[in-house]
Structure 1
Amino acid sequence: MSTPTSSTAAKAEALVASATGVSEEKKPATTAPDYSMFSTPSSLTDVVLVVEGKKLHVSQALLCLASPAFLKMFEGDFKNKTEVPIADKKYADFVEFLLCIHPSTCKPVQRETLDIVLPLADEYEVESLMQRCEQFVLNLFQLKDAQRSDPSNVELVHFLYLSDKYKLSALLDACVIKAKYRTYEGEHGIKTLREFNLLSADTKFRVLSGRTSLLEVTLTGVQMFKQRLDHIVTPECNGCYGPVYNHTSPGCRVQLKSDLLAYFDKLTSYFREDPRYVEVSEGRKLAVKQAK
């Protein structure tokens, strides 16, 4: 991958200093972005991007410094061009993208803009903006506000889809952990959502593997509890004294054990009879074998 020349980088640094007027350390944490900043040329702009027929006056050096994709464009087909058409993009979306990468604004990622700037950051290879998008969602998960930190199935699967599609590994790990505890089947299950079915096979496997591990822990606990039930019943049943020993008294420990065992057998039979459980288990064994 090409990198900006030293002269280009030096020019970009000078432009950053001129545009901001302050160093990175002293730059205000938040500034009101000027949405008209790209509408007119200035001494700092030297190229025009044309989006939906509208002109955006920008600095070629700054774009090259932020985006390897722009660098390839300006060193290739659009070398020495003063106007560059940007096809198949919305003007408002592209302005939002530029505001996020321009050093004088560096607009923060927001929930309303995440789905706008992340695809553009990926397309134009702006790694720093992609990391900011990832960190934005991770920060949501850490909020004390339970509703925002623990999103609905729809929003969680959307974040899972974004992290899978754009290779955001830290966010993907966090989403998989959350997804494995969510309802899988049924009207509100994650399996029924369109974006879940768009996930890569590897990510689906990670979610299902995590759920299987939880089920195995549950089944292990059930088996241990069944063993402990054997110590509840004594040779004599105090709840069944009388002419008929049928163990039907509500306080009978023998009947309690029988009822619990029947319930556990029914619970575990779901996993023995459900072919999907077998498929997931076999799939995990195969993956482990292939990894070796």
Structure 2
Amino acid sequence: MSAAGKKYDNKDTDLVPEVKRLKSSFEKQDISLVVGGKRLYINKAELMEKSPVFKTMFTADFKEKNALEIQLPDKDLHHFLMFLRCTLDGYDDSINDLNVHFIIPIAHEYQVKQTLDKADLFLSNHYVNRNLGGNACKDIVNGIIEAEKYDLTQTLNTLIDFASRKKFAYISQASDFNAISKRVLHKISMARWQKDIDGNTGKQCTASNGSYEVRN
């Protein structure tokens, strides 16, 4: 049979998951997202696979179910493009210092767990690599607020540890300190207590011989 007359199998039932995933970026682009007045042509099936929000939008009884164009008027084009290129298959864009804080809110809104987890891991490592002394109190406080808001578990745990080792007199003066939830403040206090951190010095309460100091 000539190439022109050959029939092709479009069901992909014979493909292993990884090959099927990579091939998805080359499928028919059957829907457009209008962001910042510009059309972005996307494969609906891939978008549904990545985002439960889009899956519901396209399968439940919403006006978008059979639409060929979806308007997203409140989204920033640059930020949304960074999100898509770090989320959709076929792109090699990585999460970095320049895009992570723009990607996180969008990934959280559309419940794209894979992208949110990557951002969470990146941020956690970012803070760890700077060490305790390299993270100012205001950065720790702002990071905690962001991690709480967007459910960044690894980042939150890292910053709770750092906050527990900062002097209370300093960290409590950070401008948004009072925006930290009572639940997280409790975790910071418990971490400080469990590690015997002195709130005045930010250091462990140890005597000169290396044993723990008992304080009345």
Q: TM-score range by the shorter chain?
A: 0.7 to 0.9
**1:129 is the counterpart of 2:115:** yes
Partner residue, 1:83:
69
Written as runs of structure 1 = structure 2, the 5 A alignment for 1:24-63 is 44-63=28-47
1:190 aligns to 2:182 (yes or no) = no
What letter corresponds to residue 214 of structure 1 in structure 2? I
> 1-side partners of 2:35 and 2:137: how far apart?
36
Find 1:202's aligned residue among 148, 169, 183.
Answer: 183
Residue pairs, 1:1-292, within 5 angstroms = 14=20, 16-17=22-23, 19=25, 44-75=28-59, 76-143=62-129, 150-185=134-169, 189-212=170-193, 213-215=196-198, 218=205, 221=213
Q: Corresponding residue for 1:24?
A: none
Same amino acid, percent of matched pairs = 23
The 1:49–1:156 alpha-carbon spacing in structure 2 relative to 1, beyond 3 Å, is same
Write the letter of the residue equivalent to 2:22. Answer: V
| C-alpha deviation, 1:106, in angstroms | 4.4
Which structure has the larger Rg over C-alpha atoms? 1
TM-score scaled by length of structure 2: 0.75
In 1, Cα distance between equivalents of 2:36 and 2:12 = 29
> Once the 2 structures are TM-superposed, how far is the Cα of residue 18 of structure 1 from its aligned partner?
5.8
Distance 2:47 2:179 in 1: 32
| TM-score, length-scaled by structure 1 | 0.57
Offset at residue 201 of structure 1 (A): 1.1
How many residue pairs match? The answer is: 191
Greater helix percent: which structure? 1
Moved more, 11-20 or 50-59: 11-20
Q: Is the 8 A contact 2:31 2:69 kept in 1?
A: yes
In the alignment, structure 2 segments of 5+ residues that lack a partner are 1-10, 207-211
Which residues of structure 1 form unaligned runs of 5+?
Answer: 1-6, 21-42, 224-267, 269-292
Judged with a 3 Å threshold, the aligned counterparts in structure 2 of structure 1 residues 96 and 10 are, in CA distance, closer, same or farther, namely farther
| RMSD of aligned alpha carbons | 3.1
Distance 1:103 1:18, change over 3 A: closer
- Alpha-carbon spacing, 1:94–1:178, altered in 2? closer, same or farther (3 Å): same
Q: Which amino acid aligns with 2:161?
A: I
